[in-house]
């Protein structure tokens, strides 16, 4: 087939192709830059949202009883609050460690990565100066929530108790009254057990959550002791 003389095939020179590729590269580069810019703006928006909304870790309050609470209080905060409680025993102002922890949780909206020891020092100073915890926390939205949730477990951990010790003669056994941490192992003295440190591990059955306990595995026949008064009989 002959090509009419007035129709001449386009001759794409190397220069022409190079310019075309440059245009395509420019379009591709522009779209990539735009995508990165959109991602950056999205991330920046999330950061700003967190910065101006300090409640991302706050509990979701609902009517009825508390079904679950996230407990990630660091050991350093637990220890310091506990020591403040014990040292204040018998003084004019009794510091309650559960109230201290509930105050911190309310202040941080449950996000204990913000924990600073000076926050406990400041609270204790205010309490010793005569302020009441009710007045300090009256404007804290979640204090009552954390006080109820933490107190359900920790209220009975600290207080007065009696322990059997030897008298000054080194022979006679007497009961001595003390104040401090009074929880104890549920496994009777003299029985062996294995222990798996799984506190904080993920649990998924029922609903997703963290495991707030440690598993103690005793052999068959191991005597168990309850850590709180109960009328239940275990077979």
> What is the per-residue pLDDT across 34-77, written as a single tens digit (0 to 9) for each?
666 666 666 655 555 444 455 555 565 555 667 677 788 999 99
Collapsing DSSP to helix, strand or coil, 205 comes out as: coil
Residue 52, pLDDT score = 46
Collapsing DSSP to helix, strand or coil, 30 comes out as: helix
- Counting Cα atoms < 13 Å in the Cβ hemisphere of 6 gives 0
CA distances 20 to 15, 30, 125, 232, Å, are 9, 15, 74, 84
Query: Residue 57 and residue 105: Cα distance in Å, rounded?
Result: 10
Cα dihedral: 118, 124, 126, 131 (round 10):
150
Whether residue 141 is found in the same domain as residue 199: no
In a domain, 21, yes or no: yes
Whether residue 126 is found in the same domain as residue 141: yes
Instruction: Name the band, by pLDDT with cuts 50, 70 and 90, for residue 190.
Output: confident
Structural domain for 198, as ranges: 184-235
> What is the per-residue pLDDT across 176-189, written as a single tens digit (0 to 9) for each?
999 999 887 777 77
In a domain, 156, yes or no: yes
H or E stretch including 136?
A: helix 133-136
pTM for this predicted structure = 0.64
Query: Residue 185 and residue 79: Cα distance in Å, rounded?
Result: 19
In a domain, 6, yes or no: no
Residue 37, pLDDT score = 65
> What is the per-residue pLDDT across 126-171, written as a single tens digit (0 to 9) for each?
999 999 999 999 999 899 999 999 998 899 899 999 988 888 888 8
């Amino acid at each position: 087939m002959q090509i009419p003389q007035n129709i001449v095939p386009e001759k794409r020179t190397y220069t022409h192709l190079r310019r075309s590729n440059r245009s395509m590269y420019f379009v591709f580069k522009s779209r990539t830059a735009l995508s990165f810019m959109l991602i950056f703006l999205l991330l920046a928006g999330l950061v700003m949202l967190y910065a101006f909304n300090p409640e991302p870790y706050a509990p979701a309050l609902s009517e009825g009883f508390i079904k679950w609470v996230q407990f990630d209080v660091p050991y350093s905060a637990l220890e310091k609050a506990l020591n403040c409680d014990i040292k204040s025993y018998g003084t004019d102002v009794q510091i309650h460690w559960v109230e201290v922890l509930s105050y911190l949780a309310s202040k941080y909206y449950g996000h204990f990565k913000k924990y600073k020891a000076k926050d406990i020092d400041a609270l204790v100073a205010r309490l010793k100066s005569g302020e009441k915890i009710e007045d300090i926390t009256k404007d804290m939205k979640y204090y009552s929530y954390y006080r109820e949730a933490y107190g359900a477990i920790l209220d009975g951990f600290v207080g007065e108790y009696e322990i059997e010790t030897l008298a000054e003669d080194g022979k006679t056994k007497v009961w001595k009254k003390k104040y401090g941490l009074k929880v104890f192992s549920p496994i009777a003295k003299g029985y062996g057990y294995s222990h798996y440190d799984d506190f904080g591990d993920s649990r998924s059955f029922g609903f997703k959550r963290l495991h707030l306990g440690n598993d103690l595995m005793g052999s068959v026949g191991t005597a168990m002791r309850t850590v709180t008064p109960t009328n239940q009989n275990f077979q």
